[in-house]
Amino acid sequence: MVSVKDYTGISLLLLLSLVPVSSSAQGTWERIYLPTNQFLKSVCFVDSLYGWIAGDSGLIFHTTDGGLTWLKQDTHSTHEVQDVFFLDRNQGWGSMFNFTTLPFGTVMLRTNDGGANWISQPYPVENIFMTCILFRDSLNGWMGGQPHALVRTTDGGASWTQAAIDTSILAFFPVLSIQFYNEQYGYASGGMFDIAGVTWHTSNGGEMWYAIDPSQAPADEVHGLHLYDSVNVIGAGGDPDFGYGVGMIRTSDGGENWSYEELVIQGNAYDLDFLNDHEVWAPLGPRRKLIYSLDGAATWTEIPSTDSTAIYDVTFPDSLHGFAVGKEGAVLKFRPRVIPSVQPIPLPQTEYVLYQNKPNPANRFTSIRYMVPSAGVNKPGNHQSVTSLQLKVYNIFGKEVVSLINSPVSSGDHEIMFDAANLTEGIYLYVLQVVNAGQTKVVAGPKRMIVQKVYPKFSETK
C-alpha cells in the first residue's frame, strides 16, 4: 500500500472528490443461457466460480466457471426444488415439494460431492413444505417452512427437531428465510399474504425464538433478510398486488422493536442481497423489475429487469460477482459498475528499492533492477548525499562473491545485467548499500538469487 502524506495526500483526495460519477453508477445485469424454460427458484454460489441453480421438475444445474457453462445434475425426481444451499464446493442440501404422491410433504436432498450424486429422503413429518435452508457447518443447520416449521439439525440433516418459539399470536406462521450473524444471534422472516408479515429473533443460538409484536407487523410476508450486525437487521417484503408499495422492515435493537416503511415503488421484494456495504439489490418477481440502493438501503431506484424477466432470487458471492434467477429459465449475471479512473499523481520517491532478479533461478545472465531516490543523489549542497552506492552478492555463509556496483549513481530506476557464469549452483543473497562518511549501510534487500546451471540436451541422430 502506498502512503500519501501531508499536502500531497490532501490534494489527491480533493481531486478524487471532483471526479464526476457516471449516471449509470449501479451495476448492470446480462442474461446468460441455460437450457431450460422452467421456473428457477433458488441460486447459491459459494465463490465466484462454483454455483448451483434449482427449480421446477427436479432441476439442478451446476457451474464451475462462474456461469460460462452449466451441467445438469440428476436428482432422480421431477418434484419442484424449492431451495438449495451449499456450505462449500462439496457439501450441499436441498428441499423439494412433493405434491404428487402420498404422503405429501418435503423430500430432502443431500450431497457430499458437489451434486455429482444427490441422496434423497422424505422429511419425517407429512404436509410440511420446507422453503429455506441454512447450514452454519457440516452438522448444524436450520430449515423453515409452511404452514409452519422452524427446525434444526445437529447431525448434518439426518434428524430434525422443532425449535422452541414463544406463544405470540404470530409465532407459528410460515417461515421463508433464516439468517445467523454468529453462533448466538439469528433471525427468521415469513408470514402470510394479506394477513401478516412476521420476523423472529434469537439471542441464544436458537434455544428460544421470539416473534414480532403484532402491533408492529406488516400486512404481507417478509422475504429476504440482511444482518448488518447482531442487532441491526433489514427485511424485504411488500404487496404483490398492484397499487401497493415495496416494504422494508428494520430493527436496531436485536428484534425487540421493528419499523416498517412502504416505498413509493409498486410490488413485492422477494429477496434482498448486498453487493457491498452500500450497494444492495432486490427482485420484484412478476413486476419484471429490480430495485437497487447505493446508500445501504436508505433510498431506492427501480429499473426493468433484463429481457423483462421475472426474477425471484439473487445472490452475490463477493463484491464483483452476482447471479439472479426466475421464471422461464431466466438466469442473470451481474456486471459491477465501472468507476472512472484517475491518473495517479506522481509522488516523490524517498526510499531505495531493490527488485527481484529475473529470471530466477538464473542459468547465466539475470537482470537486477533497483531504484535510487532523489534524496540519494550525490550532488553539492545535498546533506543526504552519498559517496557511493554498492550492489553486492554474497553466498549463504555471508561471504562476498562479487561486487556489481561501487560508485555514485544518479536518482531514478536502474538495471544491471549480471553474468553468473563464474558462480557455482546454489543460493545467493544480494543487497543494495550506501557508503557515506566512511559508514556503510544496507538500504534495500537482501534478495534471494538462485543459480541453477541448465545445459541443453542433445539427442543422438541417426
Tens digit of pLDDT for each residue in 202-228?
999 999 999 999 999 999 999 999 999
What Cα–Cα distance (Å) separates residue 436 from each residue in 377, 384, 385, 441? 12, 9, 8, 8
And the C-alpha cell for 285? 418477481
- 373 vs 92, residue with greater confidence: 92
- 432 vs 281, residue with greater confidence: 281
Locus of grid cell 404483490: 240
Tens digit of pLDDT for each residue in 52-101?
999 999 999 999 999 999 999 999 999 999 999 999 999 999 999 999 99
pLDDT of residue 373: 82
- C-alpha 97: how far from chain center: 30
pLDDT of residue 272: 96
Domains in the chain, CATH or no CATH each:
24-335 (2.130.10.10), 353-451 (2.60.40.1930)
Length of the chain in terms of residues written: 462
E strand map for 136-288: 141-146, 149-153, 161-162, 175-180, 186-192, 196-202, 210-211, 222-227, 233-238, 245-251, 259-266, 273-274, 280-283
Locus of grid cell 490532501: 10
| 403-413 burial: b if 16+ Cβ within 10 Å, else e | eebeebbeeee
CA distance linking residue 460 with residue 100, whole number of Å: 74
**In this model, does residue 462 exceed pLDDT 60?**
no
End-to-end CA distance of the chain: 59
pLDDT of residue 242: 60
Tens digit of pLDDT for each residue in 393-443?
988 777 888 988 888 888 788 888 888 888 888 888 898 888 877 777 888
pLDDT of residue 63: 96
In the sheet that holds 129-135, the strands lie side by side as: 129-135, 141-146, 149-153, 161-162
The whole-number average pLDDT for the span 286-306 is: 95
Is the four-CA dihedral 81, 85, 86, 90 of positive or negative sign?
Answer: negative
Instruction: Report if pTM > 0.85.
Output: no
